[in-house]
A and B are shown apart, each in its own frame.
Chain A
Amino acid sequence: MRALDKLWQALDERLELDPIVEFVAHKVVPRHRHSWAYYFGGFTMFFFFVQVATGILLLLYYRPTAEAAFESVQFIVTRVPFGWLVRSVHSWSANLMILSAFAHMFSVYFMGSYAKPRELTWWSGFALLGLAMGFGFSGYLLPWNQLSFFATQVGTDMVSKVPFAGAWLLKFLRGGNEVTGATLTRFFGFHVAVLPMLTALLLAGHLAFIQRQGMHVPASLEEEAKKRKPIRFVPNFMLREGVVWLLGLAALAALAAFFPWELGIKADPFSSAPAGIKPEWYFLFMFETLKLLPAHLLGIEGELLGLGAFALGGLVWFLVPVLDRGGRVGRRSRAFLALGWVVLAYIVGFTFASFAGVFK
């Protein structure tokens, strides 16, 4: 203890740590009926940390070429000690991270936290979710199996529909005209270098905004939050969040042990797309919508209309902080509350219906 005190004193003498101590000591989290929602952001961050740790481990054995990728993953899960565990945890944690990010996004949406002055927090969060889905999409291809090969075929073909830049974007993503080993090598670069760097930068911004502004309390809960004593961040809130993280770790261990992630069969570019092919669950609502659209609608190709609608929907969702004029004075309008429920119902409804096999 004395040694620690000494070390602290030495650092304090040189770096003047007082203002930081002061800030941390005064950081609080408001307490009200819906305080539970404040745990989702940190929960998402926990899974991100797990991804970084397990991802670095996988890098020791993974080989990013069409000839060796599938075999190297096979080697990891069958020969490397605890390789099955590391790979399964990486796959499960990726999914839980996205699930948690969705929960986080909808909870801050329904609390109206996107409104002024927190627009930048909303926008950086939106970009983080986009990056998380980019991680999922690029990572899915890396084992180079049948399902991931065709999922990438379909997913990258969608960008070719972007007006003007489509052809360039398609080549940029595929590293050529077709999905080949060149695509795999590129996706590997995105997955382990580009996306982690962007995510780290944006996450730093996201967290910095929150530190500057403090936690948002919705107008309807202000009364309650005023009456109740806020939770001190250090150590009380941190310890509680720690319990939540432990629950996440337990869930990961259980999922990885009882439902090890499958590898499937190696991709063969000259075979038919296998029956029952589908993307990861967080793309299912878009996937099923595209399946429902007829070949032509209002004189336009169905998928063009569908993709255009998704792009527009995403733009509206992104712009909510400026579109919801009520939000700026602290009263989110009913229209935007309704919009949130419609979007949530659509995504959850289509995802579950897809799992239930409603769409054949």
Chain B
Amino acid sequence: MRAANETPAVSRRTALNWLLGTSLGATVAAALYPVFRFVIPPQVAEAPVNRVLAGKLSELPDNSGKIFRFGSKPGILIRTPTGEVRAFSAVCTHLNCTVQYRPDLQHIWCACHNGQYDLQGKNIAGPPPRPLEAYKVDIAGDDLYVTKGA
């Protein structure tokens, strides 16, 4: 009789503990889920920018460069010493700094960790692991249009 009484008592305790534990767990999860979602801001619907007016040919002398705005990211226009105009993403493939054109080195340089890219945007020295993304440049009169994914 006693033994028969004891077994259900123990299993009732286990069942209650389990119930308490899971509802506590569920409450914590229910409180944390909105927090996890809240800390990531909503995606602002940005019209994808594919083509921008990046600058003027007359303002870009040979052997120089210029940063322009490509949507939310910076791009770089360069004019090689021989007068060719090219455009790349200005976001360094190493750790995200914005690169610049170095007339003295005659190539693209990143100040953050001394990364270097040649006039084709290829990584040639320092830590950058990949080339800069290249864009297409259209020259319309004096206007320089840059197109992505060409």
Q: Which residues of A line the B interface, CB within 8 A?
A: 150, 153-154, 156-158, 168, 171-172, 175-178, 182, 269-277, 287, 290-291, 293-296, 301-303, 360
Contacts and interface: CB of A to CB of B under 8 A. Distances in A.
Interface of B: 39-41, 67-69, 72-74, 76, 90, 94-100, 110-114, 123, 126-129
B98 A272 contact: yes
Listed from nearest, the 9 A-B pairs whose CB atoms lie closest are: A272-B100, A157-B96, A273-B97, A291-B113, A301-B129, A273-B111, A154-B95, A157-B95, A295-B129
A325 to B, nearest CB: 37
12 contacts: A154-B97, A156-B96, A157-B96, A271-B98, A272-B67, A272-B76, A274-B111, A290-B95, A294-B127, A302-B127, A303-B94, A303-B129
Contacts of A175: 41
Given A271-B98, A272-B67, A272-B98, A177 B111 contact: no
Contacts of A157: 95-96
Nearest to A155: B95
Contacts of B110: 273
A150 B39 contact: no
Contact of A277 (B39, B72, B111, B128): B111
A168 B96 CA distance: 17
Contacts, number: 80
Contact of B67 (A172, A176, A271, A303): A271
Contacts of A287: 113
B98 A150 contact: yes
Contacts of B113: 287, 290-291
Nearest to A294: B127
Nearest to B72: A178
A360 B125 CA distance: 13
